[in-house]
Structure 1
Amino acid sequence: MAGPPEAARKAVADISEALLDRVDDLATDLSGVIRGAEPFYDAGGVVPAADLRASVRANLVHILRQLAGRPQRGPVPSLATGRRRAEQGVPLPVVLHSYRVAGRFIWAAIVAEATRTPDAAEALLYAGSQLWLIIDEHSGAITDSYRDTVIEAVRRNEQTRSAMLDVLLRGDPDDGSRRWECAASLGLPPQGTFVVVAAGAPRPGVESIPNVENALRVKGVRSAWRVEVGLHVGVVVLTPRTGIDRLSATLARLSNGPIGLSEPYPNLEHTPTALREARLACAAATGPEPVRYGAAPVAVLLASAPDAAAAVAEAILGPVLALSAGESDILLSTLRTWFAEHGATSTAAAALHVHRNTVRYRLRRIEELTGRSLTQPGGVAALHLALEACRVLRLPSRP
């Protein structure tokens, strides 16, 4: 497609240069038009009048120089405008609307100036196509700059929140004043009933309980969370309506992964201890049900000493673990069900959908292999401890 005649290019360039000579007056007028068309710029002083005018003037100069065929070098004003308005909290639709208003204002100024130009019709046709291309280009640049600034601000805010939460989780070696400041910034009270939650993440850097802070806030529960390597950790403020049992049920609905909870504590200075409790409880959790530190002492003890737990499992259940995968799993599942049913063979058989004699046979097989009797307290205790070690350590671990 052939380009516009040289005469039209020159006419548009002359019109743009004439408008550049009046750019200060145009900037003042356009600032007033934008404030009248977009009430946000007049409300609350979010964008000072001098700020708006400076931005309008810089963008006018840039657009008119592009139309004149001598684009300016250096920073693009629309990028600076997008960053500045994002920092000020001006909604993006408001910013884009002001650019459309500016486009109409510039077009009106070009039309008025063109009345003094020969071949005005052809010049206006060319100017119109160029102007709206430039406005679209600037709108796109503003959108990208605005969103980049918002993303960066969110990232900085998350880093700040994580650093503040770290003061609570790791402890404040000073007099505690920084701890209270961080708690206040996170929206947590200095006194109350708190619990630390540790949830196993499916992979590093991922929230294992998605959107948990908002989900709890809806229930009137305040909390602060962060993602660590392999864990999603939060400090939660319990309430009379949402105690630890109800919190556990809520967390279980929000996640399918292992979750550990500390014991409730009354003062934020105890948070580091609660974090250790929550980590151990999470390590002891192998199913979807959250584990509370004080409610599963044997599992937590084994999780706190994995090497010793592995030694216990091997010393007591080693011969069972050495069997083929199918036979070993059947025997361990039977023993686990028998314990869950409090040693009631018939009830365990019903749960396993087998005859009670089958259960008795399997239990005798375990006794023969391990040398431990399920009719003696010592044997029962040893087998239960070893079975818990297998559960916590997820043994046997076969491909």
Structure 2
Amino acid sequence: MDPIVAIAERLLGRADALADELTAAIRRAEPSYDADNLVPVEDLRTSVRNNVVYIFTRLAGGRQAPGLAPARATGRRRAEQGAPLPAILHSYRVAGTFLWSAVLDAASPADRAEALLPAAAELWSLIDELSGAVTDAYRDNVAERARSSEQTRNAMLDVLLRGDTGDGSRLWESAATLRLPRQGTFVVAAARPDRPGTEAVPRAEESLRTKGIQSAWRVEIDAHVGVVVLTPRFGVDKLVAHLARLSGGPVGLSEPYPGLDRTPAALRQARLAATGADGVARYGEVPVATLLASAPDEAATVVRSVLGPVLALPAVESDVLLGTLRAWFAADGATSTAAAELHVHRNTVRYRLRRLEELTGRSLARPAGVAELHLALEAARILRLG
């Protein structure tokens, strides 16, 4: 008989005693296992015995080895118990050293020379196999619980944003889950992403947490939405500056409000502000844009009625005329300033504006014409029509 097979069979007969000794050794070597409230002794001993039986059955050439299911179950349990993964892997190194010593003690001098060198490699390979199965199951469990936790957070945040609070108890349950106070000063932020379903404000919740600010965020198809708790030291102005540094796109903020039950109305304000925003905008700061965003069908009618003939031109010509009008408005009607911004002669700007007046039937010399053209231009920007 192969000497290592004989040694493994003898040690299998001592599986219970070895499990007792190895359990004690692990508890001495690894402080995390020396606390019964983390991993109970009997739980640890059961896992140790399963591993001892697995290793020596394999070394004995047994075809009916228990398999890796017990190791995977151990990995899941340790994750649920909160045992640190480094401590678990350390316990396997302790086990490898202990079991190799047991093999040496059970071997005769002749056996040591003939068979133990290849047996050492096989034993440590089995230790790696078991620790790998534990690690994979541990990480799978952690990932699954993280997904479950994220789903719960999204559901609780949905209660706040949509106002589905039932008798009110769900509101407080949601606040507790999201770690938000029931009363305070809140603001809803809505940021428009470059691509659907992505974070428009990178690491928003984490970055605010580093400043001591509580918030809860989630990604929706058309917006990245968050409920933020303001403080006396971190008010709306600081939030605007913070979000402006993090996001390069439009972000809308609601008016501050005192109770979470008002979050649905605040969400609507934030979305409207974001629709009309160029950067970070507070609800009420851009009243014309907010008005147009709140009535998109009517805004589209204004665009067609006022700018229809311009939009009907070839795209290149239409873009030139509308870009010139935007520059003229941005320059408060100063033709020379607009020309410098566009890198053209001021007479070119005058020509383009006259052409636009002819097409629209509106005069930039009359207040009513200026108002209608500005309103239509803003509506086109918000609706992305030109």
- TM tier, shorter chain? over 0.9
1:306-355 per-position Cα deviation (integer Å, ceiling 9, x unaligned): 23222211110111112222322222112112222222333323333333
1:284-307 per-position Cα deviation (integer Å, ceiling 9, x unaligned): 23x4x1222221222122223323
Residue 383 of structure 1 deviates from its aligned partner by 0.5
Partner residue, 2:26: 34
Check conservation: 1:194, 1:268, Cα contact below 8 A. Answer: yes
- The answer on 1:305 being equivalent to 2:298 is no
- The answer on 1:88 being equivalent to 2:77 is no
Question: Structure 1's 318 and 273: CA in aligned 2 closer, same or farther, altered over 3 A?
Answer: same
Residue 189 of structure 1 deviates from its aligned partner by 0.8
SS in 1 for 2:9: helix
- The answer on 1:155 being equivalent to 2:173 is no
The CA distance in 2 between the partners of 1:337 and 1:239, in whole Å, is 39
Identity over aligned pairs, percent? 65
The CA distance in 2 between the partners of 1:257 and 1:79, in whole Å, is 46
Check conservation: 1:202, 1:230, Cα contact below 8 A. Answer: no
Partner residue, 2:324: 334
Residue 273 of structure 1 deviates from its aligned partner by 0.9
Alignment of 1:283-298 (within 5 A): 283-285=275-277, 287=278, 289-298=279-288
Partner residue, 2:166: 174
Is there any run of 5+ residues in structure 2 with no aligned partner, and where? none
Partner residue, 1:105: 98
- The answer on 1:368 being equivalent to 2:358 is yes
Residue 195 of structure 1 deviates from its aligned partner by 0.9
Alignment of 1:62-81 (within 5 A): 62-70=54-62, 71-73=64-66, 76-81=69-74
Residue 205 of structure 1 deviates from its aligned partner by 3.6
Alignment of 1:1-399 (within 5 A): 7-8=1-2, 11-43=3-35, 45-70=37-62, 71-73=64-66, 76-115=69-108, 119-285=111-277, 287=278, 289-396=279-386
Check conservation: 1:27, 1:56, Cα contact below 8 A. Answer: yes
Letter in 1 for 2:99: I
The CA distance in 1 between the partners of 2:27 and 2:132, in whole Å, is 22
1:169-215 per-position Cα deviation (integer Å, ceiling 9, x unaligned): 11134232221122122111111111111122333442222211111
The CA distance in 1 between the partners of 2:227 and 2:130, in whole Å, is 44
Letter in 2 for 1:91: P
Q: TM-score, normalised by structure 1?
A: 0.91
Greater CA drift, 343-352 or 79-88: 343-352
Check conservation: 1:62, 1:77, Cα contact below 8 A. Answer: no
Q: How many residues align?
A: 385
Greater CA drift, 33-42 or 242-251: 242-251
The CA distance in 1 between the partners of 2:38 and 2:373, in whole Å, is 70
The CA distance in 1 between the partners of 2:275 and 2:130, in whole Å, is 53
Is there any run of 5+ residues in structure 1 with no aligned partner, and where? 1-6
The CA distance in 2 between the partners of 1:56 and 1:182, in whole Å, is 42
The CA distance in 2 between the partners of 1:276 and 1:55, in whole Å, is 55
Residue 368 of structure 1 deviates from its aligned partner by 1.2
The CA distance in 2 between the partners of 1:170 and 1:61, in whole Å, is 56
RMSD over aligned Cα atoms: 1.9
